[in-house]
Amino acid sequence: MFYSQSRLAFYIRRKHILEDTLYELEKHNSLNDNVYRFRIEFVNEPGVDQGGLKKEWLTLLSKEIFDPQAGLFKLSPNMRSVHPSPLSLIQPGAMSYFSLAGVLVGLVKIILERDKI
């Protein structure tokens, strides 16, 4: 599916993927259903998002937000799931990132259903 220029564009810097994603969701009002129809543009990188850039963004964002090293989540004893880390209590902006994790799960579901990626 070709993404037209009229779709919302999320401008993402790879080294600031969490911060830029939060900014874009707040800027476009994540509660608005239209925010789920967007394209990804990695700053200073050529590319047209026909689904591949969105998949890459989702993968990178998921790895970063759920990475136990980030201090938001920790692995369960069975090493198959994550849950909030006690360290998240001292993380600045942790609640925003937990909200982002919830939005991320919802985005994956919606994108898979709508865009068939």
Residue 1 resides in a domain: no
Q: What is the mean pLDDT of residues 12-34?
A: 81
How far CA 91 is from CA of 60, 71, 73, 86, 98, in Å, comes to 20, 7, 11, 10, 11
> If you write DSSP's letter for every residue of 50-105 in order, what string do you get?
SSHHHHHHHHHHHHHHH-GGGSSEEE-TTSS-EEE-GGGGGSTTHHHHHHHHHHHH
Q: What is the CATH number of the domain that holds 50?
A: 3.90.1750.10
Instruction: Determine the structural domain holding residue 28 and report its residue range.
Output: 8-115
CA distance 51 to 86: 36
Nearest alpha-carbon partner for 101 in 14, 13, 22, 9: 22
Report pLDDT for 4. Answer: 47
Q: How confident is the model at residue 49 (pLDDT cuts 50, 70, 90)?
A: confident
Report pLDDT for 35. Answer: 54
Q: How confident is the model at residue 43 (pLDDT cuts 50, 70, 90)?
A: very high
pTM, to two decimals? 0.77
Burial of residue 91 (CB within 10 Å: 0-12, 13-18, 19+) is middle
What is the count of structural domains for the chain?
A: 1
Report pLDDT for 116. Answer: 62
Report pLDDT for 13. Answer: 97
For residue 28, is pLDDT > 90? no
For residue 51, is pLDDT > 90? no
Residue 97 resides in a domain: yes
- Beta-carbon neighbour count of residue 76 at 10 Å? 10
